[in-house]
Structure 1
Amino acid sequence: MTDTCPTCAVPLAVEEDEPPWCPRCEWNLDALAPIEHSTWFYRQIRTRDHRAGFRADKLLATGTPVRPGGGHGLLVAVSAVLLAVPAAAVVAAIWLLVAGPVVIGLLLLLVAYLVRPRLGRVRTILKGLYRLDADRAPALHALIDRVAAATGAPRPDIVAVEPGLWGAWTTVAGIRQRRILTLGIPLVASVERGELVALLGHELGHFANRDSRRRMLTMPARVTFGHIASGLRPSRVSGMERDLLGLYLIVYEVWRLVSGMLSWLAFAVHATIHVSAARDDRRAEQEADRLAVRAAGRAATLGLLDATAAFPLFHGAISGVARKGYAMAEWRERVALSRARNESRTGTLRQLTIRTEASLFSSHPSTGRRHQFVSALPDTAPAVTVNDAEWATVVRELAPYAETLRKELAEQYEM
């Protein structure tokens, strides 16, 4: 293969073991690096999913976003039907427990329990996280309030920290539908103040756009068939290996065959639903990026996406090799040096994500496509700015959780 693009005649971009591509016209950017020791079937599925995801991301980045249409409505309808199943099972079970046969009534109660709607438990979601109340981090909460006001979003009910998370996420859980915002320490150590504002604008944008509510309406459709496929998955251990003989062996192997076919069928439905839902999720990410630009400005939002694309370069900077009590400060200094040293490489890494993150199953457009989308948005002055004193206080409030991560990383290194 030549070193220049056959279409543009410009030098090809090269990154590690990835196939080269043209940084101008994206020639060969949709090519995947081969995987050794993979089956033909897996390679075909992976290639087709990648190319379809590549095209879908490109349309989202270059076209005008449209409101979710029939796909979302269909998922809501499927969810409504699935919610009716446990309700009908409970009614029928109560009648059978009175009129008989009781055994069937008990089985229907079990079915209703297994397919019941799940709203998520706040206690379960917060397990392993550190809750950060306003009295412990007033500066961070004040910044979140300002970003919420700028984006028109309701403020989160709970702010939490996940020390080892290279990212951030939001969700709504429980009967009271409490809004939860979670920040990862490596991410905070890798971004500047305006980029953190953009991050908060994006995450709170999901609350402003009620994405969690939309997701909740489609949740039964998203997860039910996956649970069914998992529950029906046959054992890998054959009847011969279990020392079964005669009729027991025949029945066991027939059940393995039937349950395997049913499991694959349920998984196919689950995959189809997941692809449809992911399309809606990617549009939601675009709308959240719009609010990130409103809160922090276009330049800071683009900087956040560049930092995200360059995360692989920062992993060595976030380590247990840091002085006790100075982990956050030292990590931020190392990441800043890495970002400056690799500034010329950032664009290549960002464009590479267009290839590596393309999938119809992904809930996010690739980072590179998001960067293209944000670059085309009108530039506006940031609605929220952070001065030196505020930024120093926010970093100081999060520093104790960096120490928690430093200890964990140091223990892993010693092991």
Structure 2
Amino acid sequence: MTETIDAGRPAGPGRPACPDCGATLTGGGVHVAWCSGCGWNTDPGADAEEEPRGRIERVRRRLARRYGEQLFADLTAGGDDGATAPTGRGRSGRLAGCLALAVHGLTVALLAAGLAMILVGTGLVPVLGAIPVLLAVVLRPRFGSLRKAAADLPVLRRPDAPELFGLLDEVASTVGTTGVEAVVVDTAVNASVRTYGVRQRRVLTVGLGLWETLSPQERIALLGHEFGHYAHGDTRHGLVVATAFQSLDTWAYTLAPQESTSLLDDLMNLATALPRAAVDGVAGLLDHLTLRGSQRAEYLADEAAARAAGSEAAAALMDRLLCAGTLTGMLRREAVAARTRRGGDRSGDAAEGLWRRLAAQAAAVPATEYERLRRVGELRGHSVDSTHPPTHLRHRLLTARAAHEPRIALDAERAARVDAELGGARRTLARQLLNG
């Protein structure tokens, strides 16, 4: 767990003091110098924080913070971890399902109307019937594919990495669900499990920017969290609702106002104003119906992570997520340095040690910096994205509850075998990142 900061320690020779209260400043050097007593300079980048783009995304952020705080209060007051409770079967979940079906029903209605116009219409009617048919094709539910999900990224199957897939199966079984068909590896400071294809097969995407900075137990916590979404029935991960969000996003993109350069643009924007408002309204309502359940699913997924890896590892994972921006910056600096280095091509050498250097830099982040970032989270309502509760509340809930002992212990020998199976992907992605 994180260390307690001694806010009252007096400043000594060579130790900078807080200009507001006189206490010794915490941090400094490559980290922000701040006062843990009065909070001076805790969030020096507050003025530069960018507002989320788009009205809907701003509303999502506000709702995420509000629901996250409400659920935190409910979960801490009730003392019930809700470990086996589904998140998508309440009234809001059912209403969201009905609304999602209505969105898909509109697509079916467009297709039916267009085909009827083509088959039985006369004159220009069959030609005009092509318009609703094309709209229906554009708005159709998309089930995704592994090829598109992976793009040019390394993909591992069971024969390629039996130790890794054995670990994934064990974690999935521990939290109450099944494993994945494939593992895609990228450089992001993130990880996710999602489905693809009509049969909704699962694929795990592992971002080495996060994975390489985690201890073995923190990796178990990460996997436990991702599989936990499927163990608790997160509404937004369901096929009907997820594809409805995709269709609404497509509508919003199609109806987006054009830059006004002529009278025709103005007329088109005026003609699409009402349907655009309707799409925004439906998307907002679907968000409202699913967001609270999605927030609860995140807390339950964190609980699943704690049961699989232990509460200490799950809480440490939250700290790593607070540092996601810092870790992304580290990778960017490595890439820039490799591309501007003079005196011969050393990109191969740089690639060999990239992940080791990233892990070393992440390990050097002191406990006091994590404490500052949690306080920044309290001020800003930081979350991973608009569907997640504030990260500092997730950390606080994990540390406030009775501690879980790990059900899965990833020892050094097994962790090394898993790392060996990721070795090829690690080298490939390092070279891609550094060579541009």
TM band (smaller chain): 0.7 to 0.9
In structure 1, distance between residues paired with 2:44 and 2:354: 39
Residue 194 of structure 1 aligns with which residue?
Answer: 217
Distance 1:227-1:208 versus aligned 2 partners, 3 A rule: same
- The percent of aligned pairs where both chains have the same amino acid is 27
Give, in whole Å, the separation in 2 of the partners of 1:21 and 1:262: 51
Note the 1:210-225 alignment, pairs <5 A: 210-211=233-234, 214-225=237-248
How many aligned positions are there? 394
Helix, strand or coil at the partner of 2:405: coil
Is residue 113 from structure 1 mapped to residue 137 from structure 2 by the alignment? yes
TM-score using structure 2 length: 0.76
**Please, what is the CA RMSD of the aligned residues?**
4.1
What corresponds to 1:226 in structure 2?
249
1:409 aligns with 2:433: yes
Residues 166 and 186 in structure 1, CA contact (< 8 A), matched pair in contact too = yes
Distance 1:366 1:382, change over 3 A: same
Instruction: State which of 149, 156, 167 in structure 2 corresponds to 1:132.
Output: 156
Q: 1:82 aligns with which of 100, 103, 119?
A: 103
Compared CA separation, residues 134 and 226, structure 1 to 2 (3 A)? closer
Distance 1:27 1:373, change over 3 A: farther
Say if 1:76 and 1:221, in contact at 8 Å, map to a contact too. Answer: no
**Counterpart contact for 1:206–1:212, Cα < 8 Å:** no
What's the CA shift for 1:196?
A: 0.3
Alpha-carbon distance in 2 for matches of 1:35, 1:292: 34
In structure 2, the CA distance between the partners of 1:213 and 1:334, relative to structure 1 (3 Å rule), is: closer
SS in 2 for 1:370: helix
How far is the alpha carbon of 1:104 from its aligned partner? 4.3
Cα distance, 1:218–1:341 mapped onto 2, change above 3 Å: closer
1:294 equivalent to 2:318? Answer no
Structure 1 residue 192 displacement after superposition? 0.4
Aligned to 1:259: 272
Pick one of 353, 357, 370 that aligns with 2:377: 353
Deviation, structure 1 residue 156:
0.8
Stretch moving more, 354-363 or 380-389:
354-363
1:12-65 Cα distance to aligned partner (Å, 9 max, x none) = 9999999x99889x9999999335999xxx999999876654333222223227
Relative to the length of structure 1, the TM-score reads: 0.79
- Residue 59 to residue 341, structure 1, CA distance change in 2 (3 Å): same
**What is the distance in 1 between the residues matched to 2:214 and 2:368?**
18
Q: Distance in 1 between matches of 2:278 and 2:37?
A: 41
Contact 2:235 2:241 (8 Å CA) reproduced: no
Q: Which residue of 2 aligns with 1:245?
A: none
Contact 1:223 1:270 in 2 (8 A): no
Distance of 1:253 and 1:184 partners within structure 2: 44
Mapped contact 1:119–1:175 kept (Cα < 8 A): yes
1:166 positional shift: 0.7
1:203 matched to 2:226 = yes
Bigger mean CA deviation after superposition, 198-207 or 391-400: 391-400
CA positional deviation for 1:160: 1.5
1:54 aligns with 2:78: no
Tell me whether 1:97 sits opposite 2:121 in the alignment.
no
User: Alpha-carbon deviations, 1:227-258, whole Å to 9, x = none?
Assistant: 2222122321421xxxxxxxxx4x55333333
Note if 1:277 corresponds to 2:290. yes
2:184 counterpart SS class? strand
Inter-CA distance 312–23: structure 2 relative to 1 (3 Å threshold):
farther
- Equivalent of 1:147 in 171, 178, 185: 171
| Separation (CA, whole Å) in 2 of partners of 1:48 and 1:96 | 40
Which range is displaced more, 45-54 or 367-376? 45-54
